[in-house]
Amino acid sequence: MWAEGTIRGSSGLPAGSEFAGFRIERTLGRGGMGIVYLAHELRLQREVALKVIRAELADDERFRARFREESRTAASIEHPRVVTVFGAGERDGLLYVAMRYVPGRDLGRLISARGALAADEAAGLVAEVGDGLDAVHAAGLVHRDVKPANVLVGEPGPVDEGPTAYLTDFGLAKIAASTSGLTATGEVIGTVDYMAPEQIEGRRVDARTDVYALGCVLFHALTAEVPFPERESSSKMWAHLNEPPPPVGSGDGGRAALDTVIRRAMAKDPADRFPSTGDLGRAAVAAARGEAITEPEHPVGIGEAAPLPETVPLAVTAPTDRLPRRRRKPRRLRRILIPLIALLVAAALTFAALIAIPRLTDSDDPAPRANGVTVPSLVGQPLDIAEQRLDELGLQSTEEGGGIFGVLIPSDWQVCGTSPSADSTVRPGATVRLLIDRPGAC
C-alpha cells in the first residue's frame, strides 16, 4: 500500500502501490499539472493513464470545485481523436483523472527522435488533432495549451496507414487559470512557444486561440523547431504579438503550400484565422497533397469556445492563400474614394453632433454623456440585477464564465467584472460583457 508522504513527495507514487482502486505500474511523465502513471484499474481489469494532480493545486478549494465540474464535461466528450476520460475523483485530499492509455509517445518526443516530419505526415497528424479539438470546442471547452506534448501519437497501424494522433489534457489548463489569482480576462495560461496573442495580452480566448496554437504545432512538426526559437520568454511573447511566423523552408513539394496555411493559422487577429481547427487540418492536408478544398469553412465552438459576433468575418471562404485583411493593398480607385467618403462622413457626424449634444446634456439621467452611455459599476451584484440595470440604460449584455454548463439561474451568479469597465462611455445599444462566477469566487 501507499503512504501519504510518498504521494505528496516529489518522487510520487512508487510502482506496485495502490491508489484509489488503481495499482501503479510505472511513471509515464511529469508536467506542470501533476504526474501521469501507467496504472491497472483493479475493478475493471484494464490499463489506464492515471494523472494525479499536484498537491498544491488540489489543496485549493476553488480548483477542486472547478475540477469536479470540468471533469464531468471532459468525460462526456466521445471522439476517436480525443483521449477518453474514464472518470475523475479524490482520495485522501488528492485529485486524479483516469484516461485511456495510448501506447506510443507524444508528438514532441517523436519529433525529437526523428527530426522534422514530411509534409503529408505532419498535415495528417494535425488534421486528426484538429478534428479532436473540434469536438472539444463543440462541448464548450477551449484547450488553451495545445502543444506537441499534449498530442499522443499511437503506434502505426497496417502497412498502408501511418501513426494516429490523439488529443489529451484538455480542460485542465482552464481550471488551473481559475485559481491562479488572475482575473477572468487576465488568464495567461499555456506554453509560450504556442501561445496566441490574445492569451499573452490576457484577452478573451475562444476556439481560434487553439487554431493559433495548432498552427504553431504544424510549424514545429515541419521544422523540428518552435516558431521563434532561441529567445527568452519575453522576446517570444513579443514575437507572437508582432512578428509573422518564419517560413518552414524548402523540402518536399507540400512544404511551400503549408507556409500559407501556417501564416493564416497564426494570424495576429483571430478574425483572420481559420474559424475552426478542423478547417485548419483540412487545409493542411489539401495543401500537402496539392489539392483544392471543397468543404466550406465554419466555426463549431459553443459557449466559451464560440467567437464573439463582432470578431467573425461577414463571409468565410475556403481558399487557404488568403492573406490577413489588413495587409491587402487598396486599389487606385479606393485610394481616391476613401478620403472623399471619410470627409463626407465627418461632415455628417459633426452636423449630427451639434443637434444631439444638447439633448444629451439637458437630460436629467446621469448615465448618458455627450458621447453615449456610461457603463455603471456592477461588480459584486447578482447577474439578474446587473442585466436589469443595463437594460434600463438601453444597453445589451452577454455573459462569460459561470462554468462549462453555462448560466442556468442568473441570480446564482455574481458579476466579477465588466468589459468595457465601469465609467466607460459606450454608444446606446452597445453590448457590455459581464464576467461572472459563483459568489465569493471572483
Positions marked active-site = 145
Q: Which residues contact 320 (CB under 8 A, 6 or more apart)?
A: 257, 260, 261, 264, 283, 286, 287, 293
Instruction: Give the side-chain half-sphere CA count within 13 A for 261.
Output: 38
Strands of 431-437's sheet, edge to edge? 396-401, 431-437, 414-419
Is the C-alpha dihedral spanning 179, 181, 185, 189 positive or negative? negative
- Render the burial of 342-369: b for 16+ CB within 10 Å, e for the rest: eeeeeeeeeeeeeeeeeebeeeeeebbe
CA–CA separation, 299 and 318 (whole Å): 12
CA–CA separation, 56 and 74 (whole Å): 22
CA–CA separation, 394 and 429 (whole Å): 5
CA–CA separation, 423 and 410 (whole Å): 23
Query: In whole angstroms, how far apart are CA 174 and each of 139, 144, 169, 185?
Result: 14, 7, 10, 12
- The C-alpha angle 82, 263, 251, rounded to 5 degrees, equals 90
- Looking only at the bridges linking them, the beta strands covering 94-100 and 85-91 are antiparallel
CA–CA separation, 116 and 97 (whole Å): 32
**Phi and psi of 430, rounded to 5°?**
-65, 165
Are 124 and 164 in contact by the 8 Å Cβ rule? The answer is no
